[in-house]
Structure 1
Amino acid sequence: MYRNEDIQGAVYEKLLTKLLSCCDTVQCVTRDEDDTFFEPIMEALVDRRYVTAWPITKLGPGAAPVLQYTFHYNFQVASFLKERQSSLFSWLMPYPEDWSFWRGDTCLLATCSHEQMLEMASEVSALLEDK
């Protein structure tokens, strides 16, 4: 399911909490090579690599790769996301952006912040409907 409506405020916070029950990792991209921003959650780091494609986005030919971070998705990471921004589309450069939430190799929720695009699996959509 695609949508271009931001998830924000209390709904954003509830979604991040509910995703703990179905996601095991979360990814984002950044052009900043300094890990300082991520210090509070570095113990959850799984992988850090340069990429030219990620969910919803593929860079054009000749574009410089960006850094993709993968973290275990746990309470500490969910709290970090809640404390740093108040909506999914608020994550824009210079902050890390384009957060995606995964269960194994399956992306359940992906954002493209600067384009205000959101793709989610039906089970995530159901989490939003579940009050």
Structure 2
Amino acid sequence: MIVISDKDIKGEDYRSLIELALKKCDTFAFVKRRDMMADEELAMKYHYKLVRNIQEAFIERKEQSEWEVTKLLEATAYVFYYELNEQTKHFLQTKSNSLFDWISPLPEDLMFFSGDDVWLAVCSHEHFFVISEEFNDFDDVIKSIKNA
């Protein structure tokens, strides 16, 4: 995986990245950290309202203490996994305008998978992401999404 720090992908480039992800990946996930919820019941009610239009693409929710870009020491988070399809692509393109905008109250740490392999994983609050080694660097990512 290639680590890219402090370089967000925004606007039309972000939407094009989601298009490229749809071509390369079959699932995506994002996170709701339990230790960041003042009121878990209220936070989860908001979350389920936010994702109601993509519920038919829902695969599973796991309670985890670590995922591709984060390892919590004492807390857990809910990681929600979804099929990546036209409907969920539209959801991802319209609910955020950049990779780093996936932060509370939205779910955090957007991740894309091709089978069991991570294609892209974002650590929103730390402003970095990791991406497949099919890319050489950030400029290569931007070039690829503009050509997608």
Common fold: TM-score over 0.5: yes
Question: What is the count of residue pairs matched by the alignment?
Answer: 129
Match of 1:118 in 2: 129
2 CA distance for matches of 1:128 and 1:42?
Answer: 31
Change beyond 3 A, Cα 1:81–1:124:
farther
Larger radius of gyration: 2
| Structure 1 ranges of 4+ moved more than 3 A | 124-128
* Aligned alpha-carbon RMSD (Å): 1.4
TM-score (norm. length: structure 2) = 0.82
Given the alignment of the two structures, is residue 103 of structure 1 paired with residue 146 of structure 2, yes or no? no
Residue by residue over 1:19-45, the C-alpha shift from the partner in whole angstroms, topping out at 9 and shown as x without a partner, is 111100001001432322110101000
Give the alignment's TM-score, normalised by structure 1. 0.92
* In structure 1, distance between residues paired with 2:88 and 2:98: 15
Q: Secondary structure of 1:95's match?
A: coil
1:15-34 map, 5 Å: 15-31=17-33, 32-34=43-45
Give distance in 2, aligned partners of 1:80 and 1:95. Answer: 12
Q: Is the 8 A contact 1:18 1:127 kept in 2?
A: no
Q: Is the 8 A contact 1:6 1:116 kept in 2?
A: yes
**Structure 1: 5+ residue stretches without partners:** none
Please identify, of 121-130 and 91-100, the stretch whose mean Cα deviation from structure 2 is larger.
121-130
Partners of 1:57 and 1:111 in 2: how far apart? 9
Distance 1:19 1:124, change over 3 A: farther
- State the Cα deviation string for residues 34-79 of structure 1 (Å, max 9, x = none): 322110101000011211101110001x22x111100001111111
- How far is 1:13 from its partner? 0.4
Instruction: Indicate the percent of aligned positions where both proteins have the same amino acid.
Output: 33
41, 44, 58: which one aligns with 1:45: 58
